[in-house]
Amino acid sequence: MERTYRLTVSCPDRTGIVAKVSNFLTTYNGWITEASYHADPQTGWFFMRNEIKASSLPFDLADFKTVFAPIADEFSMSWSISDSGVKPRVVLMASRESHCLADILHRWHSGELNAEIVAVIANHEDLRRMVEWHEIPYHCVNIDPRDKAPGFAEVEQLIDGLGVELIVLARYMQILPAALCERYNGRIINIHHSFLPSFAGAKPYHQAYDRGVKLIGATCHYVTQDLDEGPIIDQDVIRISHSDTIEDMVRLGKDAEKTVLARGLRLHLEDRVIIHENKTVVFA
């Protein structure tokens, strides 16, 4: 895969944004391999993602930022630029269930995920052997249900020490402290085992069973302080019937969970997701 820069922008909509940015890129002979735009008539906001061959530009990422900054200022842009050749540092968090973790680890192991998985943090020992086989450090941090603060303090210290760009909750099953959510705002991805907003909270498959729905789902979203209320990245559903027990639903749902989490994670790692207020623009 050729090395690219990915420029993502969100700003108030007006004429001339695309022209300005594409002129800038053309001026320096930037070769755009992919370009996506979205103008939201409701909010009056504009969103853009450009992927440019790194080798086509006469400067590096730092210089790009310097040269682009005046344009960004002119249009009041929130923006970021990333280098596909630099793998984001990711920490995975898990509990006892292995399906999402195993799926991500396998994708990473087979070279499908452009990320560096720097550690797995879990609150149980169950998955240590699987993780260590992948030669990834495994940190087991107990979260005492009577006093969660010390455990989470240790988790936070670990994460900070690792210099992490992204936290992936691969069925971690614990509610992160509000302060941590705040500090890593837009950088924590969760998989919820229901089609949100249906069946938020605990035991969604039990809720789904009781309601007698004919489809169950999974939702990949950014974590905010409001549990299960963060911006949604991706969702999917699978069909069930009256003959499926809760155990069947749990088993069938795993396939939806791991697929949706993998898709959401990939979209994030490729800088295809822009958060705006409590929603996402996804340039898939």
Q: Give residues in contact with its own copies (CB under 8 A).
A: 15-16, 18-20, 22-23, 25-26, 29-42, 56, 98-99, 102-103, 106, 109-110, 112, 133, 195-199, 211-215, 217, 231-237, 241-243, 245, 251, 255, 259, 262, 278-282, 284
**Cβ of residue 154: shortest distance to its own copies, in angstroms?**
28
d(CA 98, CA 200): 22
**Cβ of residue 89: shortest distance to its own copies, in angstroms?**
23
What are the residues facing 81 on neighbouring strands?
7
Which tokens is 173 given? 């099953």
Q: Is 244 a catalytic residue?
A: no
**Cβ of residue 29: shortest distance to its own copies, in angstroms?**
6
Which tokens is 150 given? 């010390």
Q: Which is nearer to its own copies, 168 or 281 (CB)?
A: 281
Q: Which of 63, 73, 126, 228 is catalytic?
A: 228
Burial class (CB in 10 A: 0-12, 13-18, 19+), 230: buried
**Cβ of residue 93: shortest distance to its own copies, in angstroms?**
19
Give yes or no for a cis peptide into 150 (omega within 30° of 0).
no
d(CA 212, CA 242): 8
Q: Which is nearer to its own copies, 51 or 165 (CB)?
A: 51
108-126 as b/e: b if 16+ CB within 10 A: beeeebebebbbbbbbeee
Q: Which is nearer to its own copies, 156 or 236 (CB)?
A: 236
**Cβ of residue 248: shortest distance to its own copies, in angstroms?**
11
Q: Which residues contact 177 (CB under 8 A, 6 or more apart)?
A: 148, 149, 152, 156
Q: Which is nearer to its own copies, 152 or 258 (CB)?
A: 258
- 253 — phi, psi (to 5°)? -65, -30
Q: Which is nearer to its own copies, 112 or 144 (CB)?
A: 112
> Contact at 8 Å (CB) between 160 and 143?
no
Name the residues annotated as catalytic. Answer: 228
